[in-house]
Structure 1
Amino acid sequence: MEETPSIAALSVSSPSRQFHGDSTIGLQEWQSWGTSSPVPSMVSEIVEDLKLLEKESNAQITFGGHGGKIQGELKITEDKKHRAKYQSLKDSEEKIQFFSARQVACRLLGSRGYLCQKCWLPREDCMCSRIRCCTAWEGMRFWVYMHPKDFLRQNNTGKLLWQIFGVQAASLSIFGIIEHEEIMWNEFMRAGKENVWCLYPNKDAAANSVQDIFGRNTSTGPEIPTMMATHNEIMHFILIDGTWSNSAAMFRRLKERANLVWKEDLPCISLTTGASAMHKLRPQPSWDRTCTAAAAASLLFELQSVPQFSSIGLEEHGEAVEEGLETLLEALTTRRVRKGRSITRKVRHNRDIC
């Protein structure tokens, strides 16, 4: 069985899971999970609501299973309360923000003292010492646009990017968390539309290959950044990080914002990528779809083949990401074997991306 920490439990070494004090999400704790943003205000509000529910009920909220699911005697009470709140909201944007903030808040509280804050694995399976970090090239930046249901998910691969390159080179932006989305779009507006691309292999998205965009004559293509890039020279790449069923809504939200900001569709890139190492553990709905970190590695390898980027060393960065994927796969597999679980899953069409 998984650990079932209470809302304020701070350490897995405390078997009773008693309330230990203030359960507010502080800035240091929040940023330790892989972000440089301030604590989202709505996440803090939901944590306060949960604390108030505990006080009014004179009982503890406990979490268990995957995804910070609320368990115990307050599960039904809290579920009714949050559904009533959701239904009272006036428009779809408010509903998205509330849904995302609640997911994030519960996952944060349910993971305290259980998951490593860097690799998102149970502390007993921490793989951080086996990750090879690289100094990122200043001319590009990844944005891991993550669905809240993938936040703190153990087999998520997007987290590898900021583990390897750092949070400034690979930034987390959670769908529906307004503080994250505003930081991301402020950077995009500074960079300009010509320096922003989304990696999204969808037949409905007009996508160009890396060679189409960067391999053509630079007099007509985007300006190739120098080794020491300024803000308006940095190339920004968005990686949609969620299940395939959720990615359509995430991509639609990005497109709507791009049309609002630039009056044009969001530029997209398609990759000539194949299956990643994670296919062994978490199958994709088809072989032309891959996990988030593998997509980033493929982009790095394809950019390396463009003459203007050949001297930067992007191939080494791509290899570091692939090594990270193998390390994650090994850690997850070892844990499953130790727990007596199957090391493979059935294919669930149109659902899995990690």
Structure 2
Amino acid sequence: MLREDFQQLEVVLCRQLEREVLEGTYHTGLASVVQFVARRGFEPARPLAEERKDRYRSRIDAIFDEAAAKEPQPDSAEEDPFLSVAGAGVRYAIQASEADARCRYCWLPQEFCVCGSVTEAIEVQQVHFALLCHPLEFLRSSSSGKLLPCVLGADLFVFGVGAHADRLDEIINDRRTHFLLPGDGSRSLEEWLSRPVPEDAAPGKSDAENRRLPLILLVPDGSWEQVQALRSAVDRRRSADGLPPVPCLRLQEAAVQAFHSPLIDALKPGAGKGRISTFEACALFLREAEDVWPLPPGTWKNALRALEPMVEALRRTLFLPEPLEATGVPTVALENAVRALQKVAPSAPLRDGLRRCVVCGAAFATPLRMRDHLRGRRHCTAVALQHFRECGAAGYAGHPAVDDAEAQRIFTAFSTTPLSHCSAEPPDVALVMLKREGLLQKPSEGTDDGVLVEMRRSFLCSRLEWGHPDRAQEITADQSMILTTWVMNQSTANISVLWQRENNHAKYSGASPAEPANCPADVARGNGQVVSEAFRSKRVHAGIRAAQNDAATEALAHLREVSPETGDGHRAE
């Protein structure tokens, strides 16, 4: 009966005993006694890392549920074309992420998921982090900001998403909020702490109480242009409430220049010196905070260790040159060839409009980044290895030295090869492309025509680099926004390779590549897909950078060769 009465408690002891009981003055007897001891159930405290992971997952699930509800939120009238269609861009990003079978929490392919590897949880009482993600950065595999909610307990916000919008407005309008962003008017952490009168003081509180309140650090996640767009949007919201722009805190320039980013090195080998990612910027902020706040020594190093699993996963997903020991090329011969190629690379003529390197397999968002890659060490190393392989196939003994004239010829031959000369993609890549094509054929629901036209305009301005969006405002969906692609229609049963890569004799002889058979401009226009039609379901997301636009870039480059009139409203130079 006692157990039934105390079902909510944990029974520690329950037994029946006989004890002597004094009965009167001179007599004793035996009596039955029940001993019952119970306590409240003991629930061990959950690890901080697990609590943060659950909170992060719930926020991501809320964003996905909002997109699945097919009830688009009205987008705000922002000046930036991507922010003006942020809600639609997030929905497209989610559709593409599901089509690519990526983990919705770590944003990496499921076979490279690192959710179980993130076990570090750092608690900093003096600062509260808040991550503001640009729509184009959301669900991007290389984004490091996604680690902030799990490691540093940051709040995750995606611009244009209705979920948790009230909390974002509270942070934006809070006087303690500061951007972690360099620029005009920004201050270092030491300068901010030495301010005589706190301008972020809360009304009704003493100076001591105000200084005990944590700093709110709003961390924008995206490229430099995207971050500036987010900052302008936040400042406009504050000005509507009569508040000044959000002040900015910057990192020490010497610390940034001395830092070597392993994440950027994984994405672009050799480019990590003096460059930092979003998560690494927060770690360097903690490094500076150790000098002014009572933080445990090495806090920032512990934070950086949480980035290592993601870096290793990104290395496995990228097309990187094979290890030197597997090539069979002597180190001295390869190093001399790479130096010779790097010497002639800045002055070598490069083909315009390329975004995918046919030698390394790397893809880039813009031709400008592609140009930087072609002049870098990674590309020159791949070109040198390919040159030595072809020398061995041609019967040359050993590894001949490469002088300046030979380096100029080799670099030009490998670095100006048209995209159409690429070999067929592996089956796994082709399967992913078929999934994406299926996604393109499925119209997106919940987006009106006005948003679609804006997305097409902004998408073309960013991907094809036509300049500021104002230049394309007069272009409509059914006029000169038509770009021809080399992607055949889905109704065509046989998808053949239009061009094959030229053999070594034609490449080294300097002869121009032969024109593909049966592919004049009018046939290409007839068989190709119209990009403006594909915009109905194409997502606005940085992850599609080159994979979904190679066909359009290739066709545009070839049509400029075939005819001076490219069909896109611009004449070939």
Q: TM-score, normalised by structure 2?
A: 0.40
Residue in 1 that maps onto 2:555? none
Q: 2:295 aligns with which of 300, 305, 312?
A: 312
Q: 1:239 aligns with which of 214, 219, 241?
A: 219
Residue in 2 that maps onto 1:104? 90
**Cα distance in 1 for residues equivalent to 2:85 and 2:271:** 26
2:67 is aligned with what amino acid? V
Residue in 1 that maps onto 2:285? 299
1:257 aligns with 2:237: yes
> Is the contact made by 1:118 and 1:163 (CA closer than 8 Å) also made in structure 2?
no
**Cα distance in 1 for residues equivalent to 2:230 and 2:156:** 14
State the shift of 1:220 in Å.
Answer: 5.8
1:197 aligns with 2:178: yes
1:123 is aligned with what amino acid? Q
Please report the RMSD computed on the Cα atoms of aligned residues, expressed in angstroms.
4.3
1:211 aligns with 2:193: no
**Cα distance in 1 for residues equivalent to 2:261 and 2:192:** 24
Higher relative contact order (CA 8 A, sep 6+): 1
**Cα distance in 2 for residues equivalent to 1:139 and 1:278:** 27
Q: How does 1:260-275 map to 2 (within 5 A)?
A: 260-272=240-252, 273-274=256-257, 275=260
The 1:211–1:281 alpha-carbon spacing in structure 2 relative to 1, beyond 3 Å, is same
The 1:105–1:259 alpha-carbon spacing in structure 2 relative to 1, beyond 3 Å, is same
State the shift of 1:37 in Å.
Answer: 8.5
The 1:98–1:188 alpha-carbon spacing in structure 2 relative to 1, beyond 3 Å, is closer
Q: Is the partner of 1:121 in helix, strand or coil?
A: coil
Residue in 2 that maps onto 1:176? 160
Residue in 2 that maps onto 1:248? 228
1:43 aligns with 2:91: no
* 1:177-199 deviation digits (Å, cap 9, x = unpaired): 2444431221454xx41x21101
Q: Is the partner of 1:172 in helix, strand or coil?
A: strand
1:198 is aligned with what amino acid? F
* 1:213-251 deviation digits (Å, cap 9, x = unpaired): 12x27776878xxxxx99x82211011101122222111
**Cα distance in 2 for residues equivalent to 1:325 and 1:104:** 25
**Cα distance in 2 for residues equivalent to 1:338 and 1:287:** 19
* 1:7-44 deviation digits (Å, cap 9, x = unpaired): xxxxxxxxxxxxxxxxxxxxxxx976562795489734
State the shift of 1:261 in Å.
Answer: 3.4
Residue in 2 that maps onto 1:324? 306
**Cα distance in 2 for residues equivalent to 1:93 and 1:161:** 28
Q: Is the partner of 1:265 in helix, strand or coil?
A: coil
Residue in 1 that maps onto 2:439? none
Residue in 2 that maps onto 1:152? 139
1:334 aligns with 2:358: no
- Ranges in structure 2 where 5+ consecutive residues have no aligned partner: 1-53, 202-208, 323-358, 373-462, 464-541, 544-573
Question: Percent of counterpart pairs with the same letter?
Answer: 20
The 1:259–1:328 alpha-carbon spacing in structure 2 relative to 1, beyond 3 Å, is same
**Cα distance in 2 for residues equivalent to 1:339 and 1:125:** 19
Residue in 1 that maps onto 2:170? 186
Q: Is the partner of 1:102 in helix, strand or coil?
A: helix
Q: TM-score, normalised by structure 1?
A: 0.62
The 1:130–1:304 alpha-carbon spacing in structure 2 relative to 1, beyond 3 Å, is same
**Cα distance in 2 for residues equivalent to 1:296 and 1:344:** 28
> Is the contact made by 2:186 and 2:248 (CA closer than 8 Å) also made in structure 1?
yes
State the shift of 1:211 in Å.
Answer: 0.9
Q: How does 1:130-149 map to 2 (within 5 A)?
A: 130-149=117-136
Q: Is the partner of 1:319 in helix, strand or coil?
A: helix
1:331 is aligned with what amino acid? A
**Cα distance in 2 for residues equivalent to 1:96 and 1:279:** 25
**Cα distance in 2 for residues equivalent to 1:221 and 1:92:** 29
**Cα distance in 1 for residues equivalent to 2:65 and 2:97:** 19
Q: Is the partner of 2:136 in helix, strand or coil?
A: helix
Residue in 2 that maps onto 1:23? none
> Is the contact made by 2:220 and 2:227 (CA closer than 8 Å) also made in structure 1?
yes
Q: How many residues align?
A: 268
> Is the contact made by 1:255 and 1:266 (CA closer than 8 Å) also made in structure 2?
yes
Q: How does 1:29-108 map to 2 (within 5 A)?
A: 33=57, 35=59, 38-39=62-63, 43-44=67-68, 47=70, 91-92=77-78, 99-108=85-94
Pair member with larger Rg: 2
1:206 is aligned with what amino acid? G
